[in-house]
Structure 1
């Protein structure tokens, strides 16, 4: 979670540099190694920031050439209003079918790779990386380029805004054991070659995730209501009233 917050600060800094004209429209950003030195972070962290900037329409990555600043007009209104619920809903629809297809196309090596991510999550090592690897290996096993690209783009959308990042962090880190159980169910269905069970297992995974996101939002809203009520309680309490009267008398 701290790493995600770190790369987001880099995103905001680079965007500020673009908006101020330090990085002009059409110019090439410093190479990955230079950016890592400028911000004193690892190169993987810079890569995360570049992905987020690309999704937000601020830059374009040209293979073999570099990273270039785009005009702000390329940023669409749809990305500005996207939220974690929409991303999760889209993932459920697409990845449910990915799982169903994969049940008939996945090979032994890919099943081995999926199992390795489950072991990593069980040992609580690089949980987020293992989670992402699980879903991307699954997409790759469909042999369908459009499916693979769709899943990759949906994972990029998880880093689109600080709000989406925070919403996912609130439920994913808290529910790691449940996520592990759900990944095992998906893996078992895939291993058995049962498309219907694989689809249902994936839907169960995302249905729980969506409900957890709603619970997190409700909890956050309740905390805010309590905070405001406590402020009012202190303002209108009798001890506070007595203190005010004493000040007036003095």
Structure 2
């Protein structure tokens, strides 16, 4: 069964569905290694990040296993967890994590620019407090998720627009979905969080300086580096 081109709507789900069909039809047999990510992307006519999200979805749902430094393999009991029970299903509404980061880059970059113009002392203090909370958790070896959410929320509050605030909160809370959490397993560590904290500090410095262009650029750079860290971590796990 040949692979087919797909339309860019919840792209990772369409890719995952095609791969599932190939597994159930016997095209990709249990125990076999899937084609390299770059080859799948070329055959499907999509980007490698979209393929990456689809493979993560298949891993979460128990169809494949990622073997570090080796590749992605079809499981003997497709769709089952280690105990043989049915693996969890990813909600149809779940966004792809890499696509989400790209959306956040666009919107939160502009929000940071607004915050640099409008932020008051109380907002800057809230942003600084959030960074301090992140630093404390990181040094204790705890993922600083509460502080990270507080940081992005405080910047949105400084922009003084409730629609933007709720959008940022929705974006951030979407990272609690199974796809993002699984990708985070490959990436998140004390060193990676320290890098993120440093990037946050640059955003705060620009807001304190009331420099909207610098704040916008700093937030966009933070999102670009987050995207790169997530992608690099997956490449290390899946050396195909």
| TM-score, structure 1 normalization | 0.55
For the residues of structure 1 that align with 2:123 and 2:180, how far apart are their CA atoms?
Answer: 30
2:179 pairs with 1:163: yes
2:222 is equivalent to residue 205 of structure 1: yes
Q: Give the secondary-structure state (helix, strand or coil) at the position aligned to 2:238.
A: helix
Is 2:121 aligned against 1:101? Answer: no
The equivalent position to 1:140 in structure 2, one of 133, 149, 157, is: 157
* In structure 2, C-alpha distance between the alignment counterparts of 1:219 and 1:76, rounded to whole Å: 27
8 Å contact from structure 2 (residues 134, 146) kept in 1: no
The answer (yes or no) to whether the contact 1:106–1:141 under 8 Å persists in 2 is yes
Q: 1:92 aligns with which of 105, 109, 112?
A: 105
Q: Secondary structure at the match of 1:175?
A: helix
**What TM-score do you get using the length of structure 2 for normalisation?**
0.57
Q: Are 1:190 and 2:207 counterparts?
A: yes
Which of the pair is proportionally richer in helix?
1
Deviations 1:55-104 (A, max 9, x none): xxxxxxxxxxxxxxxxxxxx984x25x31101111111110001000001
Match of 1:40 in 2: none
| Cα distance between partner residues in 1 of 2:188 and 2:119 | 26
Find the aligned partners of 2:210 and 2:185 in 1 and give their Cα distance.
32
Distance in 1, Cα, partners of 2:111 & 2:199: 16
Partner of 1:177: 194
Counterpart Cα distance in 1 of 2:166 and 2:203: 21
**Does the 8 Å CA contact 1:84/1:168 hold for their aligned counterparts?**
no
Work out the CA distance in 2 between the residues paired with 1:175 and 1:114: 20
Match of residue 54 from structure 2 = none
| Root mean square deviation of aligned Cα | 1.9
| Number of residue-to-residue matches in the alignment | 146
Deviations along 1:5-31, one digit per CA (max 9) or x if unpaired, are xxxxxxxxxxxxxxxxxxxxxxxxxxx
Distance in structure 2 (CA, Å) of the matches to 1:210 and 1:102: 23
Deviation at residue 169 of structure 1 after TM alignment:
4.6
User: Residue deviations 1:127-175, cap 9 Å, x none?
Assistant: 1111110000111111111111110110121123x22112135334340
